[in-house]
Amino acid sequence: MRLIPALLTACSLAACSSGLPPAVDNGTTADNDTAEVTQTAPAATEQAPANAQLEPLNPPAPGQPGGLPDDRTPVSEAKFTPDSAQGAANVVQTYYALIESGRYDQAWALWSDGGKASGGDAKAFAARFAPYSEYHANIGAPGQIEAGAGQRYVTVPVQVYGRIKATGKPFHQLGEATLHRTGDIDGATPEQRSWHIRAIKFQDDPGKPAQ
């Protein structure tokens, strides 16, 4: 993978999560037809023993199963523009930084359609992070911008990892964020020409303990 030094981090400024963390299974099924997010998650019936030593968070390294792609292609250190592919990746980094700092309403606003593409309102979005005591992410290099009919799309790989609050167990999950903006067409507003998250898809069960 083309690693981006400023992006492929554990997001120390803000615990990163994949955009919309799947709800911990409490016997009910979450209905989310709008956001393209895998919703399968673990049952949180176990309780972490008091004063128990927690397993370390060791998400798979790039190139390993569950890790980000690893082609090691050098990435340009040149200054990027907001409408570039790396500008889109920067939105993903900002998104996760906002989540770790608890600014869920601002993170929610980075979804398309004024946050509606997340599949719910800002309050419901924030509630999705409640089952986790830690939620982090590594961000990979963005793909090429795809253009068509005045629209622009780009995907950014993400690897989320953290800890389930009820059990203290770690988890990790691999996925990708798709961002969208309008091209430079007549009548498009600055907001429409800015990258926003359209969807976040995950490959694996987000509650699977890290092996």
Report residue 161's pLDDT band, with 50, 70 and 90 as the boundaries: confident
- Mean pLDDT for 35-62 is 61
Of the ranges 5-19, 92-106, 129-143, 195-209, which one carries the lowest mean pLDDT score? 5-19
In terms of CATH architecture, what is 1-26+36-43+57-206? Answer: Roll (3.10)
Instruction: For residue 60, give the nearest of 165, 171, 163 by alpha carbon.
Output: 171
Identify the pLDDT of residue 101.
Answer: 81
From residue 181, give the alpha-carbon distance in Å to each of 29, 143, 199: 32, 15, 13
Q: Sketch the domain layout of the chain as residue ranges.
A: 1-26+36-43+57-206
Q: Are 35 and 117 in contact (CB under 8 A)?
A: yes
- Mean pLDDT for 31-44 is 38
Give 15's strand partners: none
The per-residue b/e assignment along 46-55, b for 16 or more CB within 10 angstroms, e otherwise, is eeeeeeeeee
- Mean pLDDT for 109-124 is 95
Average pLDDT, the chain: 77
Give 180's strand partners: 153, 196
